[in-house]
């Protein structure tokens, strides 16, 4: 895929949710969810999509399935990371990252994520604070929302699964600050290594 216009993001922000919704609600439930989000159908996966469409589906899922939404977002995020591993990161690069010491591998992976932030940040601004900490300012997937708990589980799951696959299998990603909670316009993600 070629770099997006600033108001577009990758289709996996929708596509990886569809099998998750199917498992919870069936095919008809997925069609109803897309319709409730104002979407005529699913993206074909060959081009970037308007960030507003992805945001509408994420928001609709949180509104209509509040208890399941966080788990479903995490599952869709892991699916997105699996897609990236299968189709976007060459196998020799994956082998190299896995063979390197974790601190060096993390630095290289953080650079790669930053270089491809256009696929998920849209009109938001991504910043790799360091090899283990990321920020998305004005995240389009939660823009304008308020919540008592963090909402960016899809982003966190993508980052966490990539790090677990390529840096250290014990890695997880935690959203330590969410703009929907703090109102500060910055969502912060921290990669943590287990023991």
Q: For residues 47-69, give the mean pLDDT.
A: 96
Q: For residues 66-72, give the mean pLDDT.
A: 96
Q: Alpha-carbon distance 33 to 132, whole Å?
A: 35
Q: What average pLDDT does the chain have?
A: 95
The pLDDT, as a whole number, for residue 4 is 53
The pLDDT, as a whole number, for residue 6 is 77
SS3 of 148, please?
Answer: coil
Are the C-beta atoms of 148 and 169 separated by less than 8 Å?
no
Q: How confident is the model at residue 31 (pLDDT cuts 50, 70, 90)?
A: very high
Does 166 map to a domain? yes
The pLDDT, as a whole number, for residue 5 is 65
Domain ranges, residue 175: 8-192
Does 141 map to a domain? yes
The position carrying tokens 């929907």 is 180
The tally of domains found in the chain comes to: 1
Q: Where residue 188 sits, what CATH number does that domain have? A: 3.90.1520.10
**Which residues touch 100 (CB under 8 Å, ≥6 apart)?**
108
Q: Alpha-carbon distance 107 to 59, whole Å?
A: 32
SS3 of 175, please?
Answer: strand
- Closest CA relative to residue 141, chosen from 90, 98, 189, 106: 189
pLDDT tens readout for residues 140-183: 999 999 999 999 999 999 999 999 999 999 999 999 999 999 88
Does 2 map to a domain? no
Does 147 map to a domain? yes
Does 3 map to a domain? no
Cα–chain center distance at 97: 21
Task: Name the percent of the chain lying above pLDDT 70.
Answer: 97
Q: What CA–CA distances, in Å, run from 182 to 54, 138, 145?
A: 22, 12, 11
Does 1 map to a domain? no
The pLDDT, as a whole number, for residue 54 is 97
What does the DSSP 8-state code read for residue 127?
A: E
């Amino acid at each position: 895929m070629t770099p997006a216009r600033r108001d577009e993001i990758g289709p996996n922000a929708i596509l990886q949710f569809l099998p998750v919704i199917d498992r919870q609600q069936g095919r008809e439930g997925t069609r109803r969810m897309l319709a409730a989000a104002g979407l005529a159908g699913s993206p074909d996966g060959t081009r970037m999509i308007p960030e507003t469409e992805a945001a509408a589906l994420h928001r609709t899922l949180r509104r209509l399935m509040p208890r399941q939404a966080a788990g479903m977002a995490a599952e869709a995020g892991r699916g997105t990371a699996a897609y990236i591993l299968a189709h976007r990161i060459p196998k020799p690069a994956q082998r190299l990252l896995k063979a390197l010491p974790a601190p060096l591998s993390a630095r290289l992976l953080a650079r790669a994520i930053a270089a491809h932030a256009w696929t998920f940040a849209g009109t938001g601004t991504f910043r790799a604070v360091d090899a283990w900490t990321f920020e998305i300012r004005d995240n389009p997937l939660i823009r304008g929302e308020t919540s008592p708990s963090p909402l960016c589980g899809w982003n966190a799951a993508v980052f966490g699964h990539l790090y677990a696959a390529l840096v250290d299998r014990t890695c997880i990603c935690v959203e330590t600050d969410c703009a929907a909670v703090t109102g500060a316009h910055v969502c912060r993600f921290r990669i943590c290594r287990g023991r």
